[in-house]
A and B are shown apart, each in its own frame.
Chain A
Amino acid sequence: MKVLVPVKRVIDANVKVRVKADQTGVETTNVKMAMNPFCEIAIEEAVRMKEAGTAEEIIVVSAGAAQSQETIRTGLAMGADRGVLVQSEVALEPLAIAKLLKAVVEREGADIVLMGKQAIDGDNNQTGQMLAGLLGWPQGTFISKMEVHGGDVKVTREVDGGLEVLELKLPAVLTVDLRLNEPRYASLPNIMKAKKKPIDVLSPEDLGVDVTPRLETLKVVEPPPRQAGVIVGSVAELVDKLRNEAKVI
C-alpha cells in the first residue's frame, strides 16, 4: 500500500505571532518555522503503518516556497521514503493546494492520503475534504483511530458530541486529530539518512493547475485586547465579585 502524506511549513506553534505594521499579514521573516503539528501526527501514523507492514512506501508532499524542502526533510527523517515539492512563491489557498495534491496523487498513485486536519496558520480545515471531493474518494476527517481491513478502512472520528465510527472504501483521504498518536522525534542517524532521500521538485504549471487566489486579503489586524483584570486575594472575594460586580452567578 502506498501512503501519501501532505505536509505544511508553518510558524512554529510556540512562537507568538505578530501582525505586520502595514496590515498585509503576519511577520514571517526571522521567525522560527516548523512542520504543522497535525502533519507530524499524519507522518507518524504512516510510519507506523510501514513498520506494521501495511504500507510499503510513504511519499511526503508539500506545496509552497522552496524552504518547504526543510519540512519535507523532517518527514523523511521521521521515516518517509521520498518527497515531492510543488514549488510556488504565490501564497496558496486550500482549493489550489487540493488541486495540486490531486495531480500528485494521480501521478504517484496512492491508496491512502493521510494529512493533518488543519494547519495552525490559516486555520481553514479544508484541504483534505476538498482533495477527497476532487478525487471522488471517501473522507475520514478528524480521526483518532484507524484500521485497514482489506479494501476498507475503519476510522474513529472526533465529533462535537463524542466519537463516530465509519467504514470507508479505499482509496480514501484521512485527516488526523491530535489523539491519533504521539509523533516521534527523528534520531540523528535518521536525520543524516534523510539528507540522501530524493525530493522531486515540480511547479503548478508542470501539474497543469491554476493556483490564482480566489480570496483577496484586504487587511490583517490584531484582535482587540482584553481590558486588564484584577487579582483577587481569596475565594470569598472572587465569589463576591462574580455575584455583585460582574453579576454572572
Chain B
Amino acid sequence: MGILVVAEHDNAGLRPATLNTLTAAGELEGSAGGPVDVLVAGADCAGAAAAAAKLPGVAKVRVADAPEYGHELAENLAPLIAKLAADYSHVLAPATTFGKNVMPRAAALLDVQQISEITEILGTDTFVRPIYAGNAMATVKSLDPIKLITVRSTAFEAAAEDGGAAATEAVDSTGDAGLSRFLGQELTKSERPELTTAGIVISGGRGMQSGENFAMLERIADKLGAAVGASRAAVDAGFVPNDYQVGQTGKVVAPDLYIAVGISGAIQHLAGMKDSKVIVAINKDAEAPIFQVADYGLVADLFQAVPELEEALG
C-alpha cells in the first residue's frame, strides 16, 4: 500500500522536521512495505518539490501546486491529504504546529483516530507515544485501516538530504474551501539556529527576572552557536515570545547540550527537554527539581554565574 509523508516546507525548500519524519517512514517501510512517497502541497512550490525528489528512499513526490495551498490552510489541505490517503496504509507528518494543525482534520475526514507524536515504531500498527507530559509512555495499537500519524522529530534522526532521484507527479487540487484566509505573519527573526534542530540550547526561566536579562543568554548562545529557549514561566511573565517556549505545551527539543538557567524544572518544562544528551542546570535553589535531571548542576546566583560562564567561554 505504501507510506505517504506530508512534507512541511516553505515552498522554496523543505523544513527540517520533514527529514525526521522520512526516517520514521523508512522504519515503517520494513514491516509495512513501501513505497515511501512524499506530498508537497504549496503554491509555486517547485523548489520544495525538487528538494523532496533528492531525498534518498523516496519513490515518488506528489506535487499539488495551487494558490490555495500557499499558506498551509488546514481547510484546504486536509481534504487533499484525506483524498490521497486512500492509496496508502500510513500517512505521516511532523508533530510541528503544521502537522498538529492539519493532520487531525484529515483524520476526522477519513474517520480515523490519529496517533499523535510517536517516539518509537514497534510494528505496522503499534507505536509508542508520550502521555502526561512524558511522565508515562503508552504503547498503542491502531485498529484503523489507515494510520494517520504525527512524528516527534527529536525521536528520529534526520534523513540525508541528497542521494535520491524520485519521480515527481502533479496531483489535482481539491480546491479552495473558501472558509479561511491568510492575512499575514510575524516570524521571529534570528541569526541563531532554530530551537528544535539546534545542537546546543540555552534556556532561561522565571529566575531571569526580565526580558532584558535574556541578552546575557544570547551572548553565550552566540559564542556556542546555540539557540535560545525559555520555560513557560518566562513566557507567561512576558519576558520572551511564546515561540521560545520549551515544554509540554511548547517545543520539544533534544540537543546535545541543554543549559537551563534560572529554571526550577516544572514537570511541564522537563517534558520538553529531558531527552537532551547532556543537561546543565544553573539555579540558586539547590532543591530545584531541575537538578534531578541535570548531568551537571551548578548551585549559584545566575547573575554571577552567567557572566562568568561567558568569560570562561572566551
Contacts and interface: CB of A to CB of B under 8 A. Distances in A.
B294 to A, nearest CB: 5
Contacts of B116: 123-126
A6 to B, nearest CB: 14
B251 A178 contact: no
Contacts of A168: 179-181
Nearest to B122: A218
Nearest to A23: B139
B112 A214 contact: yes
B309 to A, nearest CB: 5
A217 B299 CA distance: 41
A121 B180 contact: no
A155 B128 CA distance: 34
Contacts of B107: 95, 126, 130, 133
A206 interface: no
Contacts of A127: 104
Given A166-B73, A166-B181, A231-B291, A215 B248 contact: no
Interface residues on A, range: 35 or more
A120 B248 contact: yes
Given A214-B143, A222-B136, A246-B257, A165 B243 contact: no
**Residues of B contacting A: mostly:** mixed
A235 B268 contact: no
A229 B258 CA distance: 14
Interface residues of B, number: 90
B76 to A, nearest CB: 10
B249 interface: yes
A95 B148 CA distance: 12
A121 B131 contact: yes
Interface in A98-131: 98, 117-118, 120-131
Interface in B178-228: 178-188, 196, 200, 224
A154 B183 contact: yes
30 contacts: A11-B132, A13-B268, A95-B111, A120-B248, A123-B116, A125-B100, A129-B74, A129-B101, A129-B105, A133-B106, A139-B101, A141-B101, A161-B185, A161-B243, A165-B182, A167-B181, A177-B249, A178-B235, A218-B139, A218-B140, A220-B137, A223-B136, A226-B279, A226-B295, A231-B291, A232-B297, A234-B298, A238-B280, A242-B257, A242-B280
* Top 5 A-B pairs, shortest CB-CB distance: A214-B113, A133-B108, A129-B104, A130-B108, A126-B104
Interface of A: 11, 13, 16-17, 19, 26, 38, 93-95, 98, 117-118, 120-134, 137-139, 141-142, 144, 154, 157-169, 172, 177-179, 213-223, 226-227, 229-232, 234-236, 238-239, 241-242, 246, 248-249
